[in-house]
Amino acid sequence: MEDEAAASDSSTQNPLVTVTFQRDANRKQKYLEAEPKALGITQIVLTVHQILCLSIFPPNHRNWGRIPFIVSSLLVIIAGSVSIAAKNLHLPTLRGSLGMQIVSSGAAFFNVIWLVVDIESFYPGGCWRYDDGNSTAVQVCHAIGRTKHHLFAQNMIVQVTLFAISVTLAVYACKVVNCCGPAPKMPVIMLQTPPADP
């Protein structure tokens, strides 16, 4: 009887299976799954490409109209630089990356709207000015107009891509920084072998 009581006491003190919940020590590594260096470099290169494409055509009567586009593009470049720096997984840098990627996604969305609104002011059409019976001038004008519309479509695709990259990096940074709630706890199951009977 005493042996059974001793056996029951030892089994309650040392269970065979122990389940505990612990914080994941490697949760910062989740940010590296987004490839922040590659996406940051892509943000910078595509934004510089956008600025260069905008400078191909000389400004018309609204010289000030390009300033908001350039300022928001510079915000995207800064966000790309911060995401590259956040690759070292330093928590304040990750928080900065999260903030800048949120700002960058807003700036990219603004640039999409800006391109739609200002398509005619920066990519003007109107070949009627050359319709004086000279068919060569009209053909050249139409060719330039088609080129401008292709450039506009390319700029729209690049801006949507920049928006998607910014949102992706913001989501991964949010998972690491725990801006939406406390860090999740992972279940840890430990198995203990029973002592050998003598």
Q: How far is it, in rounded angstroms, from Cα 34 to Cα 22?
A: 24
HEC assignment per residue over the chain: CHHHHHHHHHHHHCCCEEEEEEECCCHHHHHHHHCHHHHHHHHHHHHHHHHHHHCCCCCCCCHHHHHHHHHHHHHHHHHHHHHHHHHHCCHHHHHHHHHHHHHHHHHHHHHHHHHHHCHHHHCCCCHHHHCCCCHHHHHHHHHHHHHHHHHHHHHHHHHHHHHHHHHHHHHHHHHHHCCCCCCCEEEEEEECCCCCCC
Q: What is the pLDDT of residue 105?
A: 93
Q: What is the pLDDT of residue 10?
A: 46
Where b means 16+ CB within 10 Å and e means fewer, 75-105 reads bbbbbbbbbbbbbebeeebbbbbbbbbbbbb
Q: What is the pLDDT of residue 103?
A: 94
Can you list the residues of the chain whose pLDDT is less than 70? 1-28, 57-65, 119-134, 179-198
Q: What is the pLDDT of residue 16?
A: 67
Using the structure block, give the residue that is written with the tokens 């004008």: 141
Q: What is the pLDDT of residue 11?
A: 46
Q: How far is it, in rounded angstroms, from Cα 122 to Cα 149?
A: 11
Per-residue pLDDT tens for 27-48? 667 777 778 889 899 999 999 9
For residue 22, the cross-strand partners are 186
